[in-house]
Amino acid sequence: MLKRSFGLLCAAVIMGVGTAAAQTGVPSFNGFYVGGQAGYSKINVEVSVAGVGSADDDMDGIGGSGFIGFEGTNNNIYGAIEAELGWDGADWSETSGGITADVEAQLTYGVGFRAGVFVANRYLIYGRLGWVRTNVELSVTGLGSVDEDFDGFRFGGGVEGMLGGNLSARGEYTYTIYEDPFDVSGVDFDLNQHLFRIGMAYHF
């Protein structure tokens, strides 16, 4: 139900962006901008141990972040650099024998580049490429908790358009491949993320 509702909300934002941009013509994005976004995060975790086998599962949830960037346009070509800071929200929990194990992706931040073109005088269609670091915490009842930072390579794309004045709305999808932070012989830890986000920005 949560995934379906978020998908419908993304579709509504994209349709609204197209309508607003069609009324105002090709938007001009130049200078600094700030904004906020919310999204659905789904992280696949796979652990393999040599001679033992492997196991994998998914953790998901809703999170949000703030961002700041600097952008410019040349005719219908667009480019920007952007930094973000937020909370991922993906979570997995299981209880057995009175003991609960919980894994949660928490603080996340990174920097990336956006590049794209304006299409049909309506949409900015862009691609995203960047680096991100996400903190993941593992807690077990009676044993305490431990956390680790994962560095990731993020790529994807989205659509953005002006809503009027200096406000714009956007929706995007990204895929992140995280590096294994554990240097343990025979043990491999893979973390990959699907992230769907919608957001609004104010352009100065």
pLDDT of 55 reads 72
pLDDT given at position 184: 65
| Separation CA 75–CA 53 (nearest Å) | 54
**CA dist 143 → 98, 99, 146 (Å):** 13, 10, 10
* Partners of 126 in beta bridges: 116, 158
pLDDT of residue 61: 96
Give residue 148's pLDDT. Answer: 87
The Cα 19–Cα 23 span in angstroms is: 7
Ordered by where they begin, the domains of the chain are: 2-203 (2.40.160.20)
pLDDT at 189: 75
Report which residue type is found at 156.
Answer: G
202 CA to centre of own chain: 19
| Spans of the chain, pLDDT less than 70 | 1-28, 121, 183-184
Q: Identify the pLDDT of residue 9.
A: 45
pLDDT value at position 17?
41
Q: pLDDT digits over 102-136, tens only? A: 889 999 999 999 999 998 767 899 999 999 999 98
Q: Which amino acid is located at 172 in the chain?
A: E
Helix, strand, or coil here: 161? strand
Contact 96, 107 (CB under 8 A): no
Task: Output the pLDDT for position 24.
Answer: 44
Q: Dump the DSSP string for 27-88.
A: ----EEEEEEEEEEEEEEEEEEETTTEEEEEEEEEEEEEEEEEEEEEETTEEEEEEEEEEE-
Q: pTM for this one?
A: 0.81
